Chain A
């Protein structure tokens, strides 16, 4: 990978990392950490959906598994938080492998794949809601014990930087994906499965690799969520909300691009937050904004905000070349 490819990532991450130095208001940092968690979940979705063309409606399955694994390993087994965090990511990846194997091996594509992932996430939600190990409907609490070795910090800024570090790692991974054989094969599968097969691409293997990577990334968002809020129940962990957030951000920001999910998450939550503050306490007003944004994105910017910027820029340069008049 060339240094030139990594430079934009370094700049963006560097600028974001400065925010806590200037802003210390807890509400702002809260908002930012939450948005970054969404961004990570969305980055995970983007690997499978954006680059692989496999639209999942059930990324909650990975988010929730990561979150529950992190929480349960600490609560029931007394495991160290950092180790639990790592295992949580692995657990999410494993669920990705199972769901991927079952659905891709039977050749499910398009809306069938979307529906089956939705079904898997819902089954997990119901199981988590009924099982004793997950705390059932009452949910599960991670014991408050603020120590860095416990992955708990007094300062929200610390969480912000950790979340940002994960975002950065995934940005680099995504960038690598764009310049690797695996990525080229994954994009080929998205564009045309039969043609990819004819060129020697092992379609099942490529899809499985993508869903495992995708699930691991989204699971890390879940782990972080659990560690930050220290509380989970089944509608948080396996709820449809996170599946929707994970796919909405890349679609709005720019599907199948490195920065799309991050930009989408920041735009959606920034705007959502702004409107709920301006519109006062109308419940669900941010959801109305999401819906409107989604419609606008699909109608006017099918390649997301990044695609829109690119299109406007080429139009401006073209006009500049054509000269006035």
Chain B
């Protein structure tokens, strides 16, 4: 569904993303992981249209959307959440989600009804009239998700929706994400919480210093020496392997 072809993004002399290519197949959850500063968020911003790539293309169902503004991409069915949550602070949960719902519902009443339905879906059903800035971090993450879902996307880009949550909140959130995927929405997620990535994603890309250094199913990727080195530093893979053999 989504194809990113050799995308490069430079900020002055800094190459944030270097010829990264990936695909997110229809109906699946694809993961994008990598150490801090690897360029995940930049790549995400390019896919969502918030940053224009220096080179490369972004395709949705074969159509080149590289030059399309953000709101057009939303109409095509791309929705995103923000790593740093961006609620409409002064509005209620219902009103927040209704802004997303308005993309495909012109009438206020329809948008509000859709918002209510989505709120229950993401577990905010009993907080509809709470002001967004009174929500906890977990609540705000759910709100991000709800607003994006209300646009009725085909492709959902999740930027660290689990970051900052405690383990029990993460356990609550994982089924929500899975249910969204099962309802037919393709998901591409950037995530630090490995437990979630392992249980949700079927295919993972690893970005380090702007390069895609590995891809594959989660368990294979997590054993890949290049990935271990990227996370833990040079020589970490051989050290951990020798430790494993000495234990055996």
Contact = CB atoms under 8 A, between A and B. Distances in A.
Interface in B104-128: 105-108, 111
A195 B88 contact: yes
B86 A192 contact: yes
B120 to A, nearest CB: 19
Contact of B147 (A179, A194, A195): A195
A181 B89 contact: no
B88 A180 contact: no
B111 A198 contact: no
A184 B105 CA distance: 12
B95 interface: yes
Contacts of B91: 187-188, 191
Nearest to B105: A181
A185 B99 contact: yes
Given A188-B99, A191-B89, A200-B151, A180 B108 contact: yes
A184 B102 contact: yes
Contacts of A201: 71, 99
B111 A184 contact: yes
Given A181-B102, A201-B71, A194 B82 contact: yes
Interface in A194-217: 194-203
B63 interface: no
Interface string B73-108: 011000110100011111100010011101101111
A195 B80 CA distance: 9
13 contacts: A181-B107, A181-B111, A184-B99, A187-B95, A187-B99, A191-B90, A197-B74, A198-B70, A199-B79, A199-B100, A202-B69, A202-B71, A203-B71
3 nearest interchain CB pairs? A200-B74, A191-B88, A195-B86
Contacts of A202: 69, 71
A195 B111 contact: no
Interface residues of A, number: 19
Q: Which of A185, A197, A199 has the most CB of B within 10 A?
A: A199
A196 B99 contact: yes
Interface of A: 179-181, 184-185, 187-188, 191-192, 194-203
A178 to B, nearest CB: 9
Interface string B193-216: 000000000000000000000000
B240 to A, nearest CB: 40
Contacts of A199: 74, 79, 99-100, 103, 147-148, 150-151
Contacts of B80: 198
A194 B50 contact: yes
Nearest to A192: B86
A192 B108 CA distance: 20
B88 A192 contact: yes
Given A198-B80, A199-B100, A200-B100, 19 more contacts: A180-B108, A181-B108, A184-B95, A184-B98, A187-B99, A191-B89, A192-B87, A194-B86, A195-B86, A195-B87, A197-B70, A198-B50, A198-B74, A199-B79, A199-B150, A199-B151, A200-B75, A201-B71, A202-B71
By secondary structure, the A interface counts as: helix
B239 to A, nearest CB: 42
A82 B222 CA distance: 76
Contacts of A185: 99, 102
A196 B69 CA distance: 13
Nearest to A205: B71
Interface of B: 48, 50, 69-71, 74-75, 79-80, 82, 86-91, 95, 98-100, 102-103, 105-108, 111, 147-148, 150-151
Given A195-B87, A201-B71, A184 B82 contact: no
A181 B82 CA distance: 23
A188 B98 CA distance: 10
A199 B151 CA distance: 7
A180 B151 CA distance: 17
B47 to A, nearest CB: 12
Contacts of A200: 70-71, 74-75, 100, 103, 151
Contact of A179 (B48, B75, B100, B108): B108
B122 to A, nearest CB: 15
A185 B88 CA distance: 11
B82 A197 contact: no
A184 B115 CA distance: 13
A188 B100 CA distance: 10
A187 B148 CA distance: 17
Nearest to A201: B71
Contacts of B108: 179-181, 184
A203 B102 CA distance: 14
Contacts of A187: 88, 91, 95, 99
Contacts of A191: 87-91
A197 B151 CA distance: 12
A187 B103 CA distance: 15
B133 to A, nearest CB: 10
A262 to B, nearest CB: 22
B106 A181 contact: yes
Contacts of A196: 99
A104 B80 CA distance: 24
A41 to B, nearest CB: 25
